[in-house]
Structure 1
Amino acid sequence: MSQKSKRPFRPAGKVSRLTFTDEERADPELEKPLKKAEKAGDKLEKAQAKIPKKKSLATERTFDAKTGKAKVRLYFEETDKPKPTSKLSHAVKTIPQKELLNKIHKEIREGEQDNVGVEAAHNTEQGIEFGERRIQSGYRSHKLKPYRNLAKAEKQTVKAEVNYLYKKSLRDNSQTLTNPISRWQQRQAIKKQYLANRYGKGAKTAHQTAKNTKTAVKNSASATEKITQLIVRNKKGILIALGIGVALMFLISTVSSCSILMEGGLQSIVGTSYTSEDEDIVAVDEDYETLERALQVRIDNIESEYPGYDEYQYHLDEIGHNPFTLASYLTAKLQVYKQSEVEDELRALFHQQYSLTTHEEVEVRYRTETRTDTWTDEDGNTHSDTYTVEVPYDYYILHITLKNKDISILATNNLTDEQNKMFAVYMETQGNKPYLFKGNIYAPNKGEYTDYDIPPDALTDPDFAALINEAEKYLGYPYVWGGSSPSTSFDCSGFVCWVLNQSGVYPMNQTTAQGIFNQCAIIPPSEARPGDIIFFTGTYASSGAVSHVGIYVGNGMMIHCGNPIQYASVNSTYWTQHFYAYGRLN
């Protein structure tokens, strides 16, 4: 006799199916999947009703509040009969019987050839046994049919109800479910939660089950959806890359390896892309620009902050950053970031990139003063002598120095080896989002540059030929503030200093554009020749007059570290407006 709480079988007529609220029934978006789920549930109940039943005696304990005594009530409980054993287990049980019959038949066969009657009787017996087995098999199949129908109906119900919950999830989460990969992932999460609810202790209504699956939907979306949304947001660029990849793979092989290569290609594209939302990437960059503008305001007001000096000398690097460098750095370090989460990270990086210092210098200088000595002689006459003297005095100078250590240089120390590798990849691919910072003057036009064929007669000068040979190695390299070598790329002065040094033309220590200017002899434009240095002013708020520098190559052309390193006409409107001087290094 079994207790109700320990029954091993399903109560008679009980099935697990979703129920729907009036609001869900009234929703036109859910009408079709809802009807299919209800239809499947009806079929499940009909299949359940056809399962053979059995009655068993059970007990129920109750408590009488008036008497304070417990009572035990006996009753018959109707439950589903268990499914008959499988065909395999049935066959296993009959193996000894079959082996005995086979042994008997073998012994009969050994002697039946001598007796036609025995052979005929034996054949008849085998035929009867075969018929009995067929009848038994048919009978057993008939007994199993209700269970097969129930299993089929339950499978269809699960499919229909999961589809309903999936459609409901699409309606409730339309912004997060945006593409086939994420939708498949969400469907799997819903199915997993649904099965847990159906066969566990979960909810039994559409509303409750949908509520339970909501957490699973969000959790599964957190990683996969970021990547899949990334693919959709950048579908134009990624589809082009995939199209090229598919074409190459088709040429390489037409066998199953293509699918492996396709998967690897997709992972490669996703793995080289920024994973944060475009809006967050742009907003974070704007926050960083806000910090830079505040720094510029402070420099502009430095004389008010430090009044009373005889002279203020400014030694300022340019204020600005490559937005792709910032995005690549943050992605390599944080993977996914939001504007509201990276304020402290931005400030820490900003204080590493920019170093603003002041230094007071006191010089002893001399000024000429006119002095007059007056005296009276013995006769009472007044005389005076006027003369000049050099008088020492303290001259106070405030040096204001701003150093800009580019983010790409900081990355080397701030990131792990693995993060540095990813940083290099993001910089190379621009996170597969080259459209993000279009129009930003600091965003590099990587890989595209203006080339120029130097006239052969200019290359007859060995110094100039060596200079150009070294300079052209770096065509296409991006502009990087503070950069002074191929490993970091260059800024304008870093490029010129490097080329002068590496070519052996002129020993030039790393310095600013103004520092290069200070070492040159100034020449008129009419006397400029290939290999001279050309200087510009006002291209940004620099401390000195000179803000940009390039190498003149003749015929109105220069090679310089613009964005990127390239040739440019010095006669263009922009460079004409900012032209400062030509210089020659001796």
Structure 2
Amino acid sequence: MKRKRIRGCFMSRKSKRPFRPAGKVSRLTFTEEERSDPILEKPLKKAEKAADKLEKAQAKVPKIKSLATERTFDAKTGKAKVRLYFEETDKPKPPSKLSHAVKTIPQRELLNKIHKEIRESEQDNVGVEAAHKTEQGIEFGAGRVLSAYRSHKLRPYRQLAKAEKQTVKAEVNYLYHKSLRDNPDSMTNPISRWQQKQAIKKQYIANRYGKGAKTAHQAAKNTKVAVQKTASAAEKITQFLVRNKKGILIALGIGAVIMFLISAVSSCSIMLEGGFQSVVGTSYTSEDEDIVAVDEDYEALERALQERIDNIESQYSGYDEYQYHLDEIGHNPFTLASYLTAKLQVYKRSEVQAELRALFDQQYTLTVREEVQVRYRTETRTDTWTDEDGNTHSDTYTVEVPYDYYILHVTLKNKDISILAESHLTDEQHKMFGVYMETQGNKPYLFEGNIYAPNKGEYTDYDIPPDALTDPDFAALIKEAEKYLGYPYVWGGSSPSTSFDCSGFVSWVLNQSGVYPMSRTTAQGIFNQAAKIPPNEARPGDIIFFTGTYASSGAVSHVGIYVGNGMMIHCGNPIQYASVTTPYWIEHFYAYGRLN
């Protein structure tokens, strides 16, 4: 969405509502005299409380960092300097509707035609109209289910808009009471007070989002002018209403009753039903006990697979060498629960075992392959012979003797369930899979403590020292890497569409930033292309390698990008910054590498 910046805030072209830059929360300020005034005490406290809530809502809006430059001039040297730094702004609000189009099907076209015909005749039949309203309400609820995951993404922006609306209301109320205190003669009746409050509100909006006052004292000066302008107009309106008050009150009363009856019958039931279906439709529908038990059964299959790999050398004995090429064994429990719910709706532990086995066989592929190499070993040989005089001679020499060298390659591929979902679910099921993944089935408590369950929406951030960003290669590397902060760990993932695993993330960032042409490879594969360097020579942009974090085929099992000061950015769960000086990473540290 294109945005235009106006006087310290952003405004959407579509909504025309102000959208603040990160950290830019303006609020009224108050003098000591205003704080001590008992007339203003209550509205003042409400205004401050609303502004505090606005700042908290502003802080929860997702942020993005963009690389910016600041040019300074050194008077001593006569040279200009450019400093690189990250400027934080609010992440643009996502579209309020689903980004993908809903395919029109014949049944849908027929349904639209039926609705049109019913609308043409429903005014003549109250029963038909009621039934039609009910049917439309059900369809509305179903539509809400499909767009629920977008609703979750929009929640911080809704909360910000709500907080801003409450702040405007509270601060306008304060300015109104201050104006009432300062101009008691101009507000002689309810109508004039209402008119003058609207004028204050209009002036306040102009001051807040346009060119105008920024403090309570300055705003009060502006609103005083607005009060004086509206006083005479309000007085004329008051005189008219007083002369015709009986007729006006009767007309307003009848209109209010009619509107209330219409809206109560047709709207309330639909909205309540739609809201209820939205919550239910985004939740896991199976019992908690079954969901947890099924995940434990899946973990049992994974443990059996690990035991099988551990016993490979006893099962396939007699080989000269065993080479392991193993992906990590594990799964996100919410991914499994979301997949099964989208496909089966409701499932019991006893009824889903065949589905579990089929899914497991599709996720994990274990293969063994024998390789026979012809190698040569050096053998020493001695030839002995006797000459004509009966003397014995010997000659010692070496020869290269060929022999067969047997290697067993053991390969395990882990194709994450989220990747399988794209091809194993229908379009409608895949939409629901996305909803359940976004909401965690409205049951985030199910897998607390599970190391593979992502800490949804939270990650560790870090401010790169500005001096490090003077290196253009490192700046480009970090700019690309920070786009994916908060993305979950997905085994085998190598792009933003699937998310990443550790080596997929580093490979993608190196390649997309243009720093190093790195194709998709493993952590060991990245290490093989890097020049090993001592830890005391490591600098921002180098690659840091770890070992033993899981049963990998090579020595290197995990990889990250070193950013200096004992920090790295890596694909943990989720992608985030981490200190490499913690006991865990010190224990598993392997080496630093540099790609040239």
TM range (shorter): 0.5 to 0.7
Query: Match for residue 276 of structure 2?
Result: 266
- 2: CA distance, partners of 1:346 / 1:333: 12
1:456 pairs with 2:459: no
Deviations 1:357-399 (A, max 9, x none): 0111111111111111111111111111111111111111110
Query: Match for residue 409 of structure 2?
Result: 399
- 1: CA distance, partners of 2:351 / 2:455: 30
Query: Match for residue 353 of structure 1?
Result: 363
SS of corresponding position for 2:399: strand
- 2: CA distance, partners of 1:578 / 1:470: 26
Q: Once the 2 structures are TM-superposed, how far is the Cα of residue 264 of structure 1 from its aligned partner?
A: 2.7
Query: Match for residue 534 of structure 1?
Result: 544
Query: Match for residue 377 of structure 2?
Result: 367
Given candidates 419, 429, 432, the residue that maps to 1:419 is 429
- 1: CA distance, partners of 2:308 / 2:349: 25
Inter-CA distance 461–261: structure 2 relative to 1 (3 Å threshold): farther
Given candidates 502, 508, 519, the residue that maps to 1:509 is 519
| TM alignment of 1:61-460, pairs within 5 A | 256=263, 260-460=270-470
- 2: CA distance, partners of 1:465 / 1:380: 84
Query: Match for residue 547 of structure 1?
Result: 557
Query: Match for residue 480 of structure 1?
Result: 490
Which letter maps to 1:345?
E
4+ long deviations beyond 3 Å: 254-263
SS of corresponding position for 1:518: helix
Which letter maps to 1:553?
V
Q: Once the 2 structures are TM-superposed, how far is the Cα of residue 506 of structure 1 from its aligned partner?
A: 1.0
Q: Once the 2 structures are TM-superposed, how far is the Cα of residue 486 of structure 1 from its aligned partner?
A: 0.8
Inter-CA distance 308–502: structure 2 relative to 1 (3 Å threshold): same
Q: Once the 2 structures are TM-superposed, how far is the Cα of residue 260 of structure 1 from its aligned partner?
A: 4.4
SS of corresponding position for 2:404: strand
Deviations 1:76-110 (A, max 9, x none): xxxxxxxxxxxxxxxxxxxxxxxxxxxxxxxxxxx
- 2: CA distance, partners of 1:573 / 1:269: 43
Query: Match for residue 79 of structure 2?
Result: none
Which letter maps to 2:470?
T
Which letter maps to 1:304?
S
Deviations 1:272-299 (A, max 9, x none): 1111111100000000000000000010
- 1: CA distance, partners of 2:547 / 2:271: 52
Which letter maps to 2:338?
S
Q: Once the 2 structures are TM-superposed, how far is the Cα of residue 413 of structure 1 from its aligned partner?
A: 0.4
TM-score of the superposition, structure 1-length normalised? 0.57
Deviations 1:185-237 (A, max 9, x none): xxxxxxxxxxxxxxxxxxxxxxxxxxxxxxxxxxxxxxxxxxxxxxxxxxxxx
Inter-CA distance 436–456: structure 2 relative to 1 (3 Å threshold): same
Q: Once the 2 structures are TM-superposed, how far is the Cα of residue 263 of structure 1 from its aligned partner?
A: 3.6
Q: Once the 2 structures are TM-superposed, how far is the Cα of residue 265 of structure 1 from its aligned partner?
A: 2.8
Deviations 1:462-482 (A, max 9, x none): 111111111000000011111
TM-score of the superposition, structure 2-length normalised? 0.56
Larger relative CO (CA 8 A, sep 6+): 1 or 2? 2
Inter-CA distance 366–295: structure 2 relative to 1 (3 Å threshold): same
Q: How many residues align?
A: 344
Q: Percent identity?
A: 87
SS of corresponding position for 1:366: strand
1:497 pairs with 2:511: no
- 1: CA distance, partners of 2:493 / 2:395: 62
- The answer on whether the counterparts of 1:537 and 1:548 sit within 8 Å (CA) in structure 2 is yes
- The answer on whether the counterparts of 1:324 and 1:443 sit within 8 Å (CA) in structure 2 is yes
Deviations 1:485-533 (A, max 9, x none): 1111111111111111111111111111111111111111101111111
- 1: CA distance, partners of 2:587 / 2:365: 31
- 1: CA distance, partners of 2:358 / 2:269: 44
Inter-CA distance 444–519: structure 2 relative to 1 (3 Å threshold): same
Deviations 1:100-152 (A, max 9, x none): xxxxxxxxxxxxxxxxxxxxxxxxxxxxxxxxxxxxxxxxxxxxxxxxxxxxx
- 1: CA distance, partners of 2:469 / 2:268: 50
Which letter maps to 1:464?
F
Q: Once the 2 structures are TM-superposed, how far is the Cα of residue 262 of structure 1 from its aligned partner?
A: 4.3
Q: Once the 2 structures are TM-superposed, how far is the Cα of residue 266 of structure 1 from its aligned partner?
A: 2.5
- 2: CA distance, partners of 1:358 / 1:509: 25
SS of corresponding position for 2:367: strand
1:556 pairs with 2:574: no
- 2: CA distance, partners of 1:357 / 1:439: 32
SS of corresponding position for 2:358: helix
- 1: CA distance, partners of 2:287 / 2:555: 41
- 2: CA distance, partners of 1:499 / 1:327: 31
Structure 1 residue runs of 5 or longer lacking an equivalent are 1-237
SS of corresponding position for 1:534: strand
- 1: CA distance, partners of 2:549 / 2:383: 56
SS of corresponding position for 1:477: coil
Which letter maps to 1:537?
T
- The answer on whether the counterparts of 1:446 and 1:477 sit within 8 Å (CA) in structure 2 is no
